[in-house]
Amino acid sequence: MKLNVLGFFQDIFNFLKAGSVLGIDIGTTSIKVVEVSKKSGRFKLENYSILETRKYLEHPNQAIQTSSLKIDEEEVVELFRIILNELKPKSKTVLASMPAFSSFITPIDMPLLSTEETAKSVAFQAKQYIPLPVNEVSIDWLKVEEFESSRGGRLQRILLIGVPNEIIKKYKNIFKAADLRLITLEVENLSLVRTLGSLDAVTMVVDIGAESTNTIITEKGVLKHSSQTDYGGIHLTQALSKSLGISTLRAEELKRRRGLLGSGGESELSTLILPFLDVIIQEVKYARDSYERRYSKKVEKLILVGGGANLLGIEKYFGNQMDLVITAPPTFANLEYNPELEPAVKGLARQLPVALGLAKKYFT
């Protein structure tokens, strides 16, 4: 079964393309929406909205969705209504992302086959890699590269992608209840690559969310590695909360205001945060090592995105620990937007790449 379960509807709407489309990124603690149009080959950001809930800081079970595959459908629908009332979009056509932690992504090496034969082989092999019955998962795959084996035979490397049907059903219910026309669901990694991965250099993109961190490695617009760890910004906040004996809300405020740059009475903030940030960095290093062993290539660039990437001082520390130069995410490259947004572009570039990648998919 192909992951693009809504592909039939996509084919229909290709004939009725709206002037604009909505890209919606549902995270653990926030929802990001962009409305994008395309004219004369140029993308234009018509509008955007970011709605964040902080209830999870005091009540972790009230996150929008978690790595346990729980998603609060009623809460998400209500948040959508708030966003749409503010945004007042011209379009109701939606492409939406699913988080990396809700999917299974793994590389598979196999003989070089035709597309049809590869699809059959993937369907047969999927049960060896996905820890759920095959009839409970929607399967897709991407061809990464062709290469020659040590014995001289031609092989291909693909990425196997699986998403539980239960998650897909919940997303479809949410958008129907919100009176939005969902035409495609896509794992967020693919949306990230579409926005950030067209660079020639081997680029590592680290998406630091609230409850997890997603790491992808891309080369010339092709996703070659994907991994995820259950450590994110909330763990840094909780470290401050417990060590300083303050509420998580207060700890979150301190973290956002001072980050790793605390001085005077706040100088200990970085001391408390760094051990947990180091856990994330260690996982990112493991992802880099895994990629470099498999492909015999070096990661050349590092991009930080996600809400956690806005932590003050994180770029310098992360770059030093990884021994890589941090590159600004080219989220707004080849994208027209209102000049009034310019002061906010740096922060938005880290928060909107998934939503923008989704919107761009509609027009390609």
Domain match, 133 and 188 both: no
Does 42 map to a domain?
Answer: yes
- Phi/psi at 28 (5° precision): -75, -35
Domain match, 147 and 136 both: yes
- CATH code at position 4: 3.30.420.40
Which two tokens mark 352?
């909107």
Does 220 map to a domain?
Answer: no
Number of domains in the chain: 3
Does 215 map to a domain?
Answer: no
Domain match, 61 and 141 both: no
Domain match, 2 and 90 both: yes
Does 289 map to a domain?
Answer: no
Residue 220 has a pLDDT of 87
| pLDDT tens-digit series, residues 158-186 | 999 999 999 999 999 999 999 999 999 99
Residue 274 has a pLDDT of 92
Q: What range defines the domain where residue 242 resides? A: 235-273
Domain match, 179 and 40 both: yes
Residue 7 has a pLDDT of 41
| pLDDT tens-digit series, residues 293-351 | 989 999 999 999 999 999 999 999 999 999 998 999 999 988 999 999 999 998 999 99
Which two tokens mark 343?
């002061």
How far is 168 from 303, CA to CA, in rounded Å?
29
Domain match, 14 and 87 both: yes
Domain match, 44 and 187 both: yes
Q: Would strands 335-336 and 42-52 be described as parallel, antiparallel, or unpaired? A: parallel
Does 303 map to a domain?
Answer: no
CA distances from 16 to 4, 9, 11, 358 (A): 19, 11, 10, 18
Domain match, 54 and 127 both: no
How far is 171 from 188, CA to CA, in rounded Å?
14
- pLDDT, mean of each 10-residue run, the chain (364 residues): 42 55 92 94 94 71 60 86 93 93 89 93 88 87 88 90 91 94 94 86 93 92 91 89 90 88 66 92 96 93 94 94 94 92 92 96 90
